Amino acid sequence: MFRLLLALACIFCASRKVNSCNTDILSEDRIDCNVRPNDQEKCETVGCVWCPVSQANIAACFLNYTDNFNVILAAASNCNSRGDCQIAVNCHPDIITYQPNQASCESRGCLWLGTDAIDDQPRCVYYNNSIIEGYTLFSGAFPLIEASAICASCDNCFHKINCLPNEPSYRITENRCLREGCIWCSETNECLFGATSGLDGLAPLCKSCTDCPLQAYIKASSQAICRKKRGTWCSNRPSSPDDKRCAIISDNTFDECSFQKLAASTCTSCDNCQSPIIDCSSTDYYETPYTCVEKGCMWCPNNKTEPTCRYGTNNYRCVSADFCDIQFPRFQNIVFSRTSSQRPHLSRLMEVFCYSQMGVWAPSTYDRCLSPSPYNEAPLARDLTKIYHYYQ
C-alpha cells in the first residue's frame, strides 16, 4: 500500500501545494470540503486547506488539488458512512436540471446524507463505496470502475449499476445504450455499466440527413470543411449553439463512418494494410504521432507516398476535449451550467462529476460532458490504468 500511495504522489505531485494559504487554485475552482464545524482546526485536521477570502460564496476550507482524480480520491477516503463523513464533496451539482434525491444520488455510486447533512452541507456526496471485496486499487473511490470489472454480460453481472440513471425508461433504447459503451439487456430492458469494448455502433445510428441523431456530427463550420473531414453536409440540421450540420451518415459514400468501416477490415496494422489506404491526416493542424493515435488512427511512417496517418482498426476515438470530433453527450438531459446566484465552484464540481461518471469534459461545447469512445478511454479509466502500471 505504501508503494501505491508513493506512486500516486509522484504522478500527481504537481497538483498538491504544501503551504496552506500559498495555493495556485483560483477562488472559483476551490472544491469545498464542507466540514462541520467550518473552522480552521476542523478543516486542517481532515487534510483540507483553510484560506478565507472576503467573498462569502467562496470556500474557505477546500481540497488543495487541481486534478479530478485526487479530488474524488480525497473526498471518498474521508467519507465512509452517513455517521462518519469528514469531507462532504457535492456529487450532485447539476441542481439546475435535477433536484437531488436518494435514488438519483445512489445511482451515481454516491452517498445520500439526507437529514444527516448539517446546515447547508450537500445531501449527496462522494464516499468510500467499495463493491468488490478485497479490491486494492483505490477501493471504494471509483465504484463504477469496480462495477464494470464484475459485469461482463447480462447473465454474468454481479453488481448492476444503471448506465443511464437520469433517462426515462421509454427513451433508453439498445442503440442509445450501446452508444454510451454500456451493456444492453434486451430481456429486462436494462442498460448497465460493464466491461464492454466501447462505442462501436456510431455509423448505424445515422442513415440520412432526416434520420440521424442530433449529436451525430463532426465539428465543421462550413460545407467545405465538412467535406475535407469526409462528413455529409445537412443544411436542415441546427447551426447553433453548436453547428451540427456536418453529419456522420452511414451510407455508401465515403463519409467518416464509411472510412472507418472499410479500413477496419483492410488495414489491420501498418504491415498489413491493403489498398486503398485512406488518409486520416487533419487539415486543421500539423499531424504528429500523438495527434494521429489520440484521435483513433494509425501512425505508419514509410518511405513510400502512402499516408503516414491512416484509418485502420484503431477506429476513431473521443478521449479528450481536443480530440473528440464525434460528439455524443454522456448525459442527454443534464444542463451543465450554473446561474449567477450559485456558487462559482459549481462549474468545477460538474467537471469532477463528469469525470467520475466516465465522461469526457469539454467545456467549450454546449453539452460539455461527452461520451468517451472507446469506453475504456474515459479519462478516469486512463488515469487508473496509468497508476496501475506505474505501481506494478
Pairing, β 232-233 against β 246-247: antiparallel
Burial class (CB in 10 A: 0-12, 13-18, 19+), 37: exposed
CA distances from 106 to 123, 193, 314, 347, 377 (A): 11, 14, 35, 21, 24
Burial class (CB in 10 A: 0-12, 13-18, 19+), 358: buried
d(CA 314, CA 173): 26
262 falls within a domain: yes
223 falls within a domain: yes
**Closest C-alpha to 234, from 270, 208, 256, 209:** 209
114 phi/psi in degrees, rounded to 5: 55, -130
pLDDT at 387: 74
pLDDT at 316: 52
pLDDT at 136: 57
44 falls within a domain: no
pLDDT single digits (tens) 379-390:
888 888 777 655
Q: Is the C-alpha dihedral spanning 84, 90, 91, 92 positive or negative?
A: positive
pLDDT at 9: 43
pLDDT at 348: 92
Instruction: Give yes or no for a contact between 59 and 33, defined as CB atoms under 8 angstroms apart.
Output: yes
CA distances from 45 to 37, 53, 77 (A): 12, 20, 14
120 falls within a domain: no
**Closest C-alpha to 238, from 216, 274, 214, 205:** 214
Secondary structure of the chain: what % helix, strand, coil (to 5)? 30, 15, 60
Cell of 203: 455509423
243 falls within a domain: yes
233 falls within a domain: yes
Instruction: Give yes or no for a contact between 234 and 212, defined as CB atoms under 8 angstroms apart.
Output: yes
pLDDT at 264: 66
Q: Which domain holds residue 306?
A: 203-310
Amino acid at 329: P
Q: At what angle do helices 68-77 and 379-391 cross, to 10 degrees?
A: 80
238 falls within a domain: yes
d(CA 340, CA 114): 26
pLDDT tens over the chain, length 392 residues: 434 444 454 444 444 433 347 788 888 899 999 999 999 999 999 999 999 988 888 999 999 998 999 999 999 999 999 999 999 999 998 877 778 899 889 888 899 999 999 888 999 999 998 887 666 566 688 888 888 778 878 888 888 888 887 777 887 888 778 767 788 888 898 998 886 533 334 445 667 788 876 766 766 778 877 766 667 788 899 888 778 888 766 543 444 555 666 666 778 888 888 877 878 887 666 777 756 765 667 788 887 788 888 877 755 567 777 776 556 778 766 778 777 778 888 889 999 999 999 888 988 776 688 887 666 678 888 888 777 655 55
Could you give the number of structural domains in the chain?
A: 1
Contacts of 359 (CB under 8 A, 6+ apart): 330, 331, 369, 370, 371, 372, 378
9 falls within a domain: no
